[in-house]
Amino acid sequence: MRLLVDSASLWYRAFYGMPETLQSPSGEPINAIKGFFDGLSTIVGRYRPTEIALCLDADWRPGWRVELFPAYKANRLDEDGDEEEPDLLTPQIEPLLNVARLAGLSIIEADAQEADDVIASLAIKAPSDVRVMTGDRDLFQLIRHSELIRIIYLAKGIQNHDLVDGAYIEKRYGIPAHRYHLFAAIRGDASDGLPGIRGIGEKGAAEIVSIFDSMEEVMDAAENSDPRLRPLHQRKLLADRDYAQIAEQLVTCRTDLELNHEGLDSWRDRANLLSLRKLGKDLGLGNTLERLVATLDLR
């Protein structure tokens, strides 16, 4: 089984889920680091993957998506045009990644691409079952590529996570699972600054997606007054034609990235246990570090 971790999603959840008072012996914050590896150990212990990749954003606002839609994630920019990030989280990211490296874990990113695209490209090339660990619904769309792909969805927390498959999507949203990306394109996503088709909410998007297989089909139906499409939805789609033309491409994860996925199964060979324990002591990770060592079976 290949475990693909949406790393930023996990460390943000860890940061907000663990008390900010957690500090290293030198007084540095470690709540995100501790929460990240506690969560990772729980999931690795439960699913026992044979391959693990921590996936990163090389660019959280890729130029090609911004060119399609300049407002993409612009709601997350600070006054200097950088990504807004909590002051106590930023200094934790590099030591967190250092812990991962010393544990031998593969860290994968792709120039000018988001972690979602890295995950999607690694998921469809996996030789066996895939589990994607994330708090991001965008990755539900990967279900359409293979019955072997499942999403470990963290909205309810690590212990109470949902394991998302086609049946979950069909039950929760009332849509064919393989059309989730189209559903997301029409509905929009406020967290990414994506409006969707204005005036059509989640229920309307689900109704449309239950009938049509692509945005091209939806717009063709709107332009030709297809009786399967409500007149109100026809008007909303035609009024937002420019966004409709780019929406599906904008939300669809790339699956064509050429990535080096060799060695995802050999973290034990790369691990430097002596240095890992020293860093763990410096950071004050205590039981978190020893649990990680035991779960990854490091020697």
Identical fold between 2-173+254-295 and 177-251: no
Query: Mean pLDDT for each consecutive 10-residue tract of the chain (299 residues)?
Result: 97 96 97 98 98 96 95 86 85 98 98 96 94 97 96 96 97 97 96 95 97 97 97 97 96 95 94 98 97 96
pLDDT given at position 80: 66
Out of 3.30.1600.10, 1.10.3720.10, 1.20.1630.10, 1.10.150.20, the CATH code matching 177-251 is 1.10.150.20
Report DSSP letters for the chain, one per residue.
Answer: -EEEEEHHHHHHHHHHHS-TT-B-TTS-B-HHHHHHHHHHHHHHHHH--SEEEEE--S-SS-HHHHHH-TTTTGGGB-TTSSBP--TTTHHHHHHHHHHHHHTT-EEE--TT--HHHHHHHHHHT-SS-EEEEES-GGGGGGGGG-TTEEEEE-TT-STT-EEE-HHHHHHHHSS-GGGHHHHHHHH-BGGGTB--STT--HHHHHHHHTT-SSHHHHHHHHHTT-TTS-HHHHHHHHHTHHHHHHHHHHHSPP-------TTTT-HHHH--HHHHHHHHHHHT-THHHHHHHHHTT--
What pTM did the predictor assign? 0.95
Domain boundaries, the chain: 2-173+254-295, 177-251
Domain 2-173+254-295 belongs in CATH node 3.40.50.1010: yes
pLDDT given at position 261: 85
pLDDT given at position 134: 98
